[in-house]
């Protein structure tokens, strides 16, 4: 009896050896197909045709996996600045881009909130932001705090945006309903403001407004130490 031909490479590609890079590639595939929420150690192991335990040889834990993945996604962003575009415009754009990137895959943002992305592209992002704030005439210490705040804002916005887009999340109607409970007696300011003030405008526009406010705040004497 003839030994059966091995299945051709084309039909069933040879199982590639595991490596950090191979794991990250598979992670990108999973996120692309089923969203970041589907990216679990077990799912990733299935994808790589192995058991979950094998991944732990290359990745310390889920947190580290997420940190690596975000850096990987960051590589798709334009993080250059020729110095000709006004710093304000460039800053607005990179913050928008970063928030958009994190929001593009539900779950990526919430990972970014509890994880410092770790890798060369994240450094590129930090470098760009520091350059822009330096161009704005802001001293290094203040700039570092500003970068922190801007990234926090971008990440949190993306997380909120993503959370309310999932089926388990609440939607805007819930908040409006809550606000309708505001009475003229106990909550006069809210009552006067109406139940839609907190939800007017597009999420995009609201995020841009906030970014502008933060930048203005950094410029407006934020180098002073806050009073207790």
Partner DNA sequence: ACCTGAACACCGTTCAAGT
Q: Are 108 and 70 spatial neighbours (Cβ–Cβ below 8 Å)?
A: yes
- Annotate each residue in 186-205 with x if it binds a second copy (CB under 8 A) or - if it does not, as one string: xxxxx-xx---xx-x----x
The answer to whether 58 and 19 are in contact (CB under 8 A) is: yes
Binding-site partner at residue 51 among a second copy, DNA, none, CB < 5 to 8 Å by type = DNA
Query: Per CB under 8 A, which of residues 3..62 are in contact with a second copy?
Result: 61-62
Closer residue to a second copy (CB): 7 or 197? 197
Q: For residue 117, how many C-alpha atoms fall within 13 Å in the half-sphere facing its CB?
A: 25
- Applying CB under 7 A, the site for DNA has a residue count of 18
163 lines the binding site for DNA (CB under 7 A) = no
Rounded Cα gap, residues 205 and 15, in angstroms? 46
Minimum Å gap between C-beta 206 and a second copy is 6
Return the percent helix, strand and coil in the chain, to nearest 5.
60, 0, 40
**Applying CB under 8 A, does 157 fall inside the site for a second copy?**
yes
Contact 13, 24 (CB under 8 A): no
**Where does this chain bind DNA (CB under 7 A)?**
17-18, 38, 40-43, 50-54, 56-57, 61-63, 168
């Amino acid at each position: 009896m003839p030994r059966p031909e091995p299945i051709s490479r084309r039909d069933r590609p040879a199982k590639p050896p595991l490596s950090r890079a191979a794991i990250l590639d598979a992670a990108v595939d999973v996120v692309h197909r089923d969203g970041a929420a589907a990216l679990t150690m077990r799912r990733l192991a299935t994808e790589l045709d192995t058991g979950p335990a094998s991944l732990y040889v290359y990745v310390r834990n889920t947190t580290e996996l997420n940190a690596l993945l975000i850096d990987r996604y960051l590589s798709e962003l334009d993080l250059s600045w020729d110095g000709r575009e006004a710093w304000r415009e460039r800053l607005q754009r990179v913050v928008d881009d970063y928030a958009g990137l994190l929001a593009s895959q539900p779950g990526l943002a919430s990972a970014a909130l509890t994880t410092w992305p770790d890798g060369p592209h994240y450094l590129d992002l930090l470098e760009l932001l520091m350059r822009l704030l330096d161009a704005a005439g802001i001293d290094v210490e203040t700039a570092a705090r500003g970068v922190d705040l801007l990234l926090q804002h971008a990440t949190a916005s993306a997380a909120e945006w993503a959370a309310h887009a999932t089926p388990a999340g609440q939607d805007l109607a819930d908040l409006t309903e809550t606000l309708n409970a505001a009475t003229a007696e106990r909550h006069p300011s809210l009552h006067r403001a109406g139940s839609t003030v907190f939800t007017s405008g597009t999420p995009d526009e609201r995020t841009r407004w906030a970014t502008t406010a933060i930048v203005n705040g950094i410029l407006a004497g934020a180098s002073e130490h806050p009073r207790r």
